[in-house]
Chains A and B, each alone.
Chain A
Amino acid sequence: MWDFPVTLIATDAKHYRLLPFRFMRMNTGHDRDILLTSDTGEYMHVNDAQLRALSYFDVQASTPFYKDLLARHFIYEPGRHDPFPEMAAQYRSRKDFLFQGPALHLFVVTLRCNHTCQYCQVSRAPLGGSGHDLSEADAQAAVDRLFESNAPALTVEFQGGEPLLAFERVRQIVEWVVERNVVEQRDIQFVITTTLHHLTEEILDFAELNRIQFSTSLDGPAPLHNANRPTPSRDSYERTVKGIQWVRERLGHDAVSALTTLTSRSLEQPEAIIDEYVSQGFSSISLRPLSPYGFATKSAHRLDYPIERYLAFYKKALTYLLRINQQGVYLSESYTSLLLKNILTPFSSGYVDLRSPAGAGTAALVYNYDGYVYPSDEARMLLEMGEDGLRLGTVQQPLSELLASPVMNALLASGVAEALPGCSDCALVPYCGADPVEHYARQADPIGHRVFSSFCKKNMGLLKHLFGLLGDGDDNVQRVLLSWLNRRSYNDVRFPGYRG
């Protein structure tokens, strides 16, 4: 495993040595309030006296605390125990996404849309607008870029605007990809992100043939959804729900998933939003805060909210979700599930926003309608705000050239969380990520100041809350969280811990 010599020599009487770790006060009021984490994602809760004893080599070798520290790789015994091969394997598992190229390829086939959402995150053009569709030549080049990635599993996602308004281009791209894949033999998943308002039998036939998944937006009950997503006919909710039912009838219940966008008015009704997802039969809900992109920034004074308000909403929503899951409903919160995977398993969730080095460009590429390539959906949204500095190049350039672009170098230089000011001392960094695009959007600096970062406040707030729930000893809550992690029903999850 080693391609260079590593010699660990004990030069004094210390019976153990420290391995790299970080600590954080969680301010829970509990005795063991300090969270210790290792670079490999192991964690322990300790008190002040234990932290000082550990740090100054005063932990007695016969104690359970000492054995815990050894087992979780916070300390090692030179000459008796070499933890590095195992730690390197764990570290490699957590960063395994670095060993493959971009797997998520987003095709923005049109910017046209029938909605006029004030908070629109991707920006849009009028229904009949011209010059806002991906050309055939650029679409073909994008398919070439897709297959230049060495990722064995590829997701091809169609975005807009409303991609079904450019369905002929979607059809063409899918057919090209399927044809190429006869030779390439990759595992390919197609997803169309759509309001479902423009579904037809023809589209569903094609989706069935190519096992295309649909991802839609459902913001909550009709009054909330229609207020968030205005259309001239004021029936956005009704048309989306009809579309959900139609997809399910034709392609099966799990062929459509939904995402929620939370505006300021959404934050007042967490239970109503969750009840809507239950009544529509979804098994997952994504409670994501508004992003500062696209048209959202222009309307920010009316629609945006401090991240503290979002965190209060999230905690209330999660409490409600935990309660109804214990009563037999299965509805997981998707971001919580990703964070739990980062905390409780040796693997990374792989989620683009929770990667370090940053996932922009390394995990995802966006082929915009105008033929330019962006490292993330958020980066192309900045374009509609008049900021084109984050483009990697054109879709006609080879992938190797796009990934070696100055923008990619800048993103990577500011995208390693473990090396960023603030993050480098944070005990939550093994479970978190770096998001230079968001910091560039919000603070005009891809590194940004973490104390003033909404990304940091959100992830710290959620991670601390989850550590609190995992540590408070409520078996029923932990069973729900484990059921989300394992995608199994509450009743199928045994009580956590040992039951003699």
Chain B
Amino acid sequence: MTWPVTLKLDSAAYPLSVVQRAAYSLADTVTIQVGIEANQISLTAHPAEARLTLSPEQAHSLILQHLNDFALRDHINRETVGLREVLARAALAGCGISQ
């Protein structure tokens, strides 16, 4: 495997928002170009800096792990949608920018 590292993803398994969050979180390690073709999302990753010690294989694994973690976070957020807001609204009733 050589740089750039490329991945082709099924957008049903990895929605665009998941891919974008993963790319954002890895910005200090790899710079990722995201492309969309039909039902596929393509990623092209380059080292974020010349002195990166990560091999292309390690970068591939790291990107996949982040994609899977953000897909799981997306699932958790969908299962709990609205609850965070309900909690904050109930807990913080009556406060604003207080004097």
- Count A interface residues, CB 8 Å: 45
Interface pair B73/A19, CB less than 8 Å apart: no
A17 and B78 alpha carbons, distance in the complex (Å)? 12
- Count B interface residues, CB 8 Å: 30
Q: Please name the residue on chain A nearest to B84 by beta carbon.
A: A20
Given the known interface contacts A17-B79, A18-B79, the answer about A403 and B99 at a Cβ–Cβ threshold of 8 Å is yes
Q: Please name the residue on chain B nearest to A400 by beta carbon.
A: B99
In the complex, what residues of A have CB within 8 A of residue B24's CB? 421-422, 449, 451
How many inter-chain contacts with C-beta < 8 Å in the A-B complex? 92
- Of A63-71, A91-99, A258-266, A467-475, the one contacting chain B is A91-99
Say if the beta carbon of B72 comes within 8 Å of chain A: yes
Interface pair A95/B92, CB less than 8 Å apart: yes
A87 and B90 alpha carbons, distance in the complex (Å)? 10
Among candidates B28, B70, B89, residue contacting A451 with C-beta atoms closer than 8 Å: B28
A91 and B88 alpha carbons, distance in the complex (Å)? 7
Among candidates A18, A20, A88, residue contacting B91 with C-beta atoms closer than 8 Å: A88
B73–chain A nearest beta-carbon distance, Å: 6
The residues in B between 1 and 44 inclusive whose CB is less than 8 angstroms from any CB of A are 21, 24-28
Interface pair A89/B99, CB less than 8 Å apart: no
The residues in A between 59 and 110 inclusive whose CB is less than 8 angstroms from any CB of B are 84, 87-89, 91-92, 95, 98-101
Interface pair A39/B98, CB less than 8 Å apart: no
A100 and B97 alpha carbons, distance in the complex (Å)? 8
- Of A1-9, A341-349, A479-487, the one contacting chain B is A1-9
A51 and B72 alpha carbons, distance in the complex (Å)? 9
Q: Which residues of A contact B (CB under 8 A)?
A: 1-4, 6, 17-23, 25, 39, 51-52, 55-56, 84, 87-89, 91-92, 95, 98-101, 148-150, 362, 399-400, 403-404, 408, 412, 421-422, 425, 449, 451-452
Could you write out 29 A-B pairs with CB less than 8 Å apart?
A: A2-B90, A3-B93, A6-B86, A19-B80, A19-B83, A20-B76, A20-B80, A21-B80, A23-B72, A23-B73, A25-B69, A39-B88, A84-B86, A87-B87, A89-B91, A95-B91, A99-B98, A100-B98, A101-B98, A101-B99, A150-B99, A362-B97, A362-B98, A425-B21, A425-B25, A425-B73, A451-B25, A451-B26, A452-B28
